[in-house]
Chain A
Amino acid sequence: MEEQSKNRIIVLGLGVLLVAFVALWIIGNIWTSNENTSVVSQPSENEAEENVTSVEKVLGVVYNETSGQDRILREYFSDIFKVLASSDEDAIYAITSSDYLEKYNLNTSTLYKKLVNKGLVGKAFECKKYAVANNPRFGKIYSLEISSIDGSVLDRIIVIEESPRDYKISFDSYVGKRPQDISITKEGLKLQITSVEEFKDVVYFKIALENTSDNTLVLNHDRNAAEAIYLNLNKSTKIYNTKDFFASQEIVLNPGDRITTEQEFFISDLQSYKINKLVIVNVYNQASQTNENYEYSIYGE
Chain B
Amino acid sequence: MGVFQNKRNVFILIFFVASILYVLYALIFANNEQGGGKEVKGYTEEEIAIYTVKDNLVHDYNLFYTLEDISNQIISALKEGRYKEIYSLLSSDLAGDISKEQWEELLKNYFTDNFSNITDEDGEEVEYENSKNLLNAYTIDSNTYVLEIKNNRNVRTKIGIQIIDSARYKIIYFEL
Contacts and interface: CB of A to CB of B under 8 A. Distances in A.
Interface of A: 4, 7-8, 10-12, 14-15, 18-19, 22-23, 26, 29-31, 33-34, 36-43, 47, 54-61, 63-65, 67-69, 71-72, 75, 140, 162-166
Interface string B79-104: 00010011011000000000000000
A63 B62 CA distance: 6
Interface of B: 2-3, 6, 9-10, 12-13, 16-17, 20-21, 24, 28, 35-37, 54, 57-66, 69-70, 73, 77, 82, 85-86, 88-89, 132, 134-137, 143, 163, 165-169
30 contacts: A7-B2, A8-B9, A12-B12, A15-B12, A15-B17, A15-B20, A18-B17, A22-B24, A23-B24, A26-B28, A33-B35, A33-B36, A37-B36, A39-B82, A39-B88, A54-B143, A54-B166, A57-B166, A58-B163, A59-B69, A61-B66, A63-B65, A65-B62, A68-B60, A68-B61, A68-B62, A162-B57, A163-B58, A164-B58, A165-B134
A4 B6 contact: yes
Contact of A19 (B21, B28, B36): B21
A140 B59 contact: yes
Given A38-B168, A54-B143, 20 more contacts: A11-B16, A22-B21, A30-B36, A31-B36, A33-B37, A38-B89, A38-B169, A39-B86, A58-B169, A59-B69, A61-B65, A63-B65, A67-B62, A68-B65, A72-B61, A163-B57, A163-B137, A165-B64, A165-B132, A166-B135
Contacts, number: 143
**Residue in A4, A12, A163 with the greatest tally of chain B CB atoms within 10 Å:** A163
A138 to B, nearest CB: 12
B62 A58 contact: no
Nearest to A27: B28
A22 B16 CA distance: 13
**Residue in A12, A22, A54, A165 with the greatest tally of chain B CB atoms within 10 Å:** A165
A11 B14 CA distance: 10
Contacts of B89: 37-39
Contacts of B169: 38, 40, 58
A19 B6 contact: no
A11 B82 contact: no
Nearest to A41: B167
Contacts of A10: 3
A26 B24 CA distance: 9
Closest 3 CB pairs of A and B: A68-B61, A63-B62, A30-B36
